[in-house]
Every structure is written in structure tokens, then in C-alpha cells.
Structure 1
């Protein structure tokens, strides 16, 4: 049985399912109980599970730190951080404790925690509400980093994240929360670490995730080329084999993300392609990204974010070179 859901509804129904399936699951964060979360992703959950859904103080370091203790004692915490940039306040907990506890204890203690947080631009929010720091989280050994691109992907990936034995930073594209509906299976789990080939093609590989995937799909349709579009889904660990296999077939590649260009994940993906598929390339790899500036305020945000026009230009460059 399947329902037509928006992404924010897919989040809520997945959490409801996991709370009902596993008594160890605990959902908490700023305003997640009484108010239902800043985007209402947890609305109504406290009514069904009043002892395992609760509000937390406005202290991101404490929210993450509490999760370490909960996980170490056998629970599965699923904290929400209202906006991804607020997680900077808890980054030391992520790097020093969350990601290291398995290694530090030689596997005797694990940290099955899923940290949910909306990220990215496109909603004309305030400063520190629209950033994309997936590369920073991916740089921490021991953390898994997951970004869905649709309601169905959200259900499958969040289910797997909550059930995973290790910590996951689950980043939800804010601009997709209510942008469209799609059919979401009632029982749906997508293994972490496996990319999705969204469209098959022979001329060029286009890699994009989160809200950029929809922009990329629109771009390749406008270009009219036979493009293979890949959604990595999990950015750490990255499914290098699927990406490399596609580039070996097409010989050309464009990587898209809305985070700043320097040290972004497009650079890491490019490096892996160069290491494993260099002699298959027929043109230089292209990156279409955000700029190396803070995400601008309302009037300039649309100029900062890659759109289908900028992505299409990158695809044209990849096709024209070589």
C-alpha cells in the first residue's frame, strides 16, 4: 500500500513507523513535541508517544551530547536540529564523541543515532538557515551522511538510517519539504551507501543530490543529450563504483552541488573519477556549484544557487570539449 506524500510528511510517517516498531527509538529536539518542529515534520508524534517524543533546550551541543549518552545505554536517539547551520554548535560533539565512540571502545559501545536537519537554500530564509555543509560532515570518519531527493527516497533512506548501528547525519533539503508529492510505499528501506541511477544515458554523466537533482533533470532535458543522471543518496560512504562505472560508459561528467565550490564534494568525486577512470575521459570534468561566499540574503539567493540554466551550460561544456 502506498500514499501520495510530500517530503515533510514522509519524514513524519517514517518516524511514526519507527517509534511504533522499536521501543528504543527516541525523538527529541527544539520544539519537536508541542509545536511539531519548525517545519511541522514531527507534528502529532508526541500524542502517540508522549514518553519518547520530547522538547529539548535551545542548545545544539547538548542535544547531540544527550544522544551520545542515550545511544551508549541502548537507545536509538533521533534528534532534530532546526537548521543545519545550528549544528555547528554541536560539531565538536560529532567529531569528538559521536563518530569516535565505536573506535574508542573497540566496538563495545556504538552510537546508533540519526541527526535530522533541514539544509540548503531556496526558501529565502535568514542568515545561517540556508547553508550546505555536507562536505564538512563527510570529512569526519565514522559519520554517515545521507541526503534524500524525494518523498519516497526520504522514507527509504530515513528508515535505514534510524535502523543503522552507526551515527547518521540525515540532511533534508528544505526547499523540497512541500514542493511536490509522490507515491511512497508503506514499507520501504533503501540500503545506505548505494547510489541511484535516476536516468540512463550514453553521452554524459550528471551527478547531483538533494534539491539539485530536480534542477539537473530539468537541465539535461533542455540540453537534449543522452545523460546518465546519478543521485549518490549517501555522500559518506560514497558509492564510487556506480559513479566510476557510469563515467567509463559516457566519458564525460558534470557534478552539481549548491555548497561552495572550494573543497566541496564535487572535488572529491572528481578526484575519485580521475583515480579510477582517467583514461576513459573524453573531456575535462565540470563542476557546477555555489560560490565561495556566505549564502546571500533574499535578494541575491537565487543568483547564488545553481539552477537548470547553469547546469545546462556545464553539460554543454562537457559535451563540447574533447
Structure 2
């Protein structure tokens, strides 16, 4: 399929732009998303094409904005709610957790909430708002959660999220925004929600990772190739519903599992991944499962301390060495 090279954020905007052209019911609502172009240029060019009738700048009230979008979705529109940074999701918890995900259930299937919520998380060259709160929301029935790692997946999952009839929470890692560039297919490029992807095949150990940690895992895998160790890198892409079939197939092949995410290790998504494998593929494991994540402290403000705090390729490499110590 023909395409063009884009950054991660350019691919996100391209996906939104295509869906707004395709469906007049799609609109975007959030803070500074109009003429300013969104924080980190996350909506650049949309206001110029679609104008204030479909690109709505809001006051600083995530709760009110979420309520407007919830009501619009119930009336048949397809809103995209732009919550600038993940730490502000807490300000809209009633709408995002208690209402949007359960309306379909409470109305016995009569009502749907086709709402896409996008937000930025993680470390990046910008320094601010680095917390990763994605694990909070994978616990909520009825809420789909995605977290892509490549520009092509960013576009494909964004288009799929907008078309989905259920609420989708779309986490966008800030280090990826302008730090990753790749070929993105033109036109009708959709990535199914709920499907992981093997980014690098291998036979010795599976590294299941999310967002920026996928690239760290690929970096570590490249280094291990010189040692004759074949690391399979699995990009989870969708955190809820988790693609357990692809995860289990990979672990049954390799017999070893490392889970890597930037969020805190305690209570992180890696715990759910590890528990799933322990419950359903314990007999295939040749070594204990190892998780790689941030230590259980607040994210440090000082750059030097933060670099020591964040998981990296070396941390993933250390985990791979740990599981490879066990005999086949």
C-alpha cells in the first residue's frame, strides 16, 4: 500500500482528518485545540480545515468537556475528546469510568457511546506531565484502551477508535510524538482494536511491551542477536481488551516472558499480562516471568534522577539475561 513518511503525531492528525472528512458527525473538543494547534501540535491544521463548527476550544474543565462529549455521543455524534495530558483524566473520572463505559449495559444495548478520548502520557523531550496512568483504565469493563508505538499503528488505531461504537481511551506517548518517523499507509488504513503485533520474531524469549518501551525492546533485541539470542518483541497495542491469544502463542513458542512498560511496575499492566500467562500457559514457561517498569516513587523532576528512574533498554536487557539463565 502506498504511503508517506510521517511522525507519530502527524499520523494521528492524519487519521482524525480522514475520519472528519468521511463522517460529518465527527468533531473534536478540548483545550487549545483550535488556532493554537493543540499541545505539542496534536491537532495542527484541523481548525484551518474544519473551523470552529467542528473544532471546539473549551475552558479548563475536563469534567464539563467529558460531559458534553458523553451527551453528544448518546445523541449519535462521534466526538473526540482531547484531554491534554493523562494526569488530567482524574478530573473527568465520573464521565469516563462511571457513565460512558456502562451506558450500553444499563440500557440493555439500546444506547451506544461512540466516544474517543485521546491523551498524552509518558516521558518526552518536553519534561512535563510524564506520568503513565493507563493501568487505571484497563480495570474498567466497557472501556477499550489502546496505546500504539508506531506512526502507522497510531493512524490505524485512531481511525478504528473513531468508528467504534464503544468508548475508546487512546494513550499517546510523548516521546513518540516527534521522535519516531516511519511510512504510514495512505487512505483506508485501519488497525483492529484488540490485536497485538509481533514487531520482531524470535524463538528464545518474548518481550511484551507498550508504546516507547517497544522501541527500547527492539534496541535490546538487536543487541542480543549478536549473542545468538533471538528475542521476540510483541507490541501489545491494545491494553483492553488484551490480545491474550497472540500473547500466549508467543510465550508457548519461546517459553520465557519479559513484560516492559514505562508506568510503575506495581499495579501496572505487566502484572495482568504476567498473571494471564501464569494462569493459562504455566506449563510452557521455562523461567519465571520478569517485569520491567518504573520504581514505586513519584516521577522525579530533576532530569538526571528521572533518567535513572525510567526503565530503558538496559533494564530490558538485564531482564532477558535473567530469564535466559534458566535451562531450556
TM-score above 0.5, yes or no: yes
Q: CA deviation at 1:79?
A: 1.1
Question: Aligned to 2:232, what secondary structure does the other structure show?
Answer: strand
What are the within-5 Å matches in structure 2 for residues 182-221 of structure 1? Answer: 182-187=182-187, 188-221=189-222
Residue of structure 2 equivalent to 1:321: 326
Following TM superposition, where does structure 1 have runs of at least 4 consecutive aligned residues deviating by more than 4 angstroms?
none
Residue of structure 1 equivalent to 2:71: 69
Residue of structure 2 equivalent to 1:46: 47
Residue of structure 2 equivalent to 1:99: 101
Q: Distance in 2 between matches of 1:316 and 1:197?
A: 21
Q: Distance in 2 between matches of 1:274 and 1:216?
A: 22
Q: Distance in 2 between matches of 1:280 and 1:180?
A: 35
CA contact (8 A) 2:264 2:296 kept: yes
What are the within-5 Å matches in structure 2 for residues 251-262 of structure 1? Answer: 251-262=255-266
**Residues 42-96 of structure 1: per-residue CA shift (max 9 Å, x gap):** 1121121121111011111111111110100000000111101111111121111
Residue of structure 1 equivalent to 2:153: 153
210-219 or 42-51, which deviates more: 42-51
Residue of structure 1 equivalent to 2:248: 244
CA contact (8 A) 1:122 1:301 kept: no
Residue of structure 2 equivalent to 1:87: 89
Runs of 5+ unmatched residues, structure 2: none
Q: Distance in 2 between matches of 1:298 and 1:140?
A: 34
Runs of 5+ unmatched residues, structure 1: none
**Residues 131-163 of structure 1: per-residue CA shift (max 9 Å, x gap):** 111110101111000001011110111110111
Q: Distance in 2 between matches of 1:248 and 1:106?
A: 39
Q: CA deviation at 1:223?
A: 2.3
Q: Distance in 2 between matches of 1:25 and 1:175?
A: 27
Q: CA deviation at 1:101?
A: 1.0
Residue of structure 2 equivalent to 1:173: 173
Q: Distance in 1 between matches of 2:135 and 2:49?
A: 36
The TM-score, its normalising length taken from structure 2, stands at 0.95
Q: CA deviation at 1:293?
A: 1.1
Q: Distance in 1 between matches of 2:302 and 2:32?
A: 25
CA contact (8 A) 2:161 2:168 kept: yes
Question: Aligned to 2:40, what secondary structure does the other structure show?
Answer: coil
Cα RMSD, aligned residues only: 1.0
Q: CA deviation at 1:124?
A: 5.0
